[in-house]
Amino acid sequence: MTRSALRRGDVRAVVLLAIVTVAAAGVLFARGPAEPSGTESSATSTSTSASLVPSRATTALWVGDSYTAGVGGIDNASYARIVCLRMGWACNVDAEGSTGFLDDGAAEYQGVTSRLPARLDFDKATFDADAIIVDAGRNDLEVPFDVLIGAIDDYVSDLREGWPDARIVIIVPTFMSPEKYDNYDDLVAGIDAIAAKVGGQVLDPVARGWYANVDIPSMQIEDRVHPNAVGNAYLAGVLERDLRELGLGDLTAPEGPQ
């Protein structure tokens, strides 16, 4: 509309246009801010005659060490992030190399890394979580068994307190090997009991055959410990399969204000 048309137009039309514009703006602001770019939500918004209820994406929190973080330039191609992509989850990862339930990190990382319990308050204050996958403990295996089980028990109890409704899955700490290390069966039994107390679930990589009849060296970086890109893709596949088997494929975020 040109300026000359405005001068010639009916004033009442301008007033009506202003009213419609204000009303439309009110509807837009009532919907709340848009979700961040690249985030998809599997929970649908619901509305009532009184208000529109916002929703958020179904969200996973992975907690762990260098395996979980991905090393060797893996970055967003780590198995945790691949699983989230395939499951349609928003992905949060709290993972620091060389750490564990008790281990603060290698000497060269001291002051930079910290053990899982020391990071928990930050995680509670920062992350939504409909599923929490605990993938840690590899760096604690030299600790006396009773001490390690006690630390895992305390940590998982604190997790449940922080996220009362989240699905908790604990992965038994293993390296890329089909063989059991000393006390493996005792550790599995202890973790099973800990998970049961908080309504959690356990994934046992040895029992589930993650590393049986596969070419392990082809899936590791030069240190022969951590997974490379092929290994991360492989682990994402078995993890997705097993998490779906545990029923997490249908996980959705709760509706309503968060």
* Range 192-198, long-range pairs (CB < 8 A, 24+ positions): 194/149, 194/152, 194/153, 194/156, 194/170, 195/156, 195/168, 195/170, 197/153, 197/156, 197/157, 198/156, 198/157, 198/159, 198/160, 198/168
Q: Is 16 left (phi over 0), alpha (psi -120 to 50) or beta?
A: alpha
Return phi, psi of residue 113, to 5°: -105, 165
Q: What per-residue string of b and e applies to 108-143 under the rule 16 or more CB within 10 Å gives b?
A: eeeeebbbbeebbeebeeebbbbbbbbbbbbbbbeb
Looking at residue 108, its pLDDT comes to 80
Grouping H, G, I as helix, E, B as strand and the rest as coil, residue 90 is strand
Closest to 70 (Cα-Cα) out of 236, 212, 204, 208: 236
Task: Count the residues in the chain.
Answer: 258
Identity of residue 228: N
Looking at residue 73, its pLDDT comes to 82
Query: Using an 8 Å Cβ cutoff, are 61 and 127 in contact?
Result: yes
Looking at residue 55, its pLDDT comes to 67
Number of Cβ within 10 Å of residue 60's Cβ equals 28
Looking at residue 7, its pLDDT comes to 36
10-residue stretch averages of pLDDT, the chain, 258 residues long: 38 37 34 32 28 70 96 89 97 96 87 94 97 98 97 98 98 97 97 98 98 97 95 98 97 73
Looking at residue 256, its pLDDT comes to 57
Alpha-carbon distance of 91 to 154, in angstroms, equals 25
First to last CA, the chain: 43
Query: Using an 8 Å Cβ cutoff, are 48 and 41 in contact?
Result: no
Global pTM value:
0.78
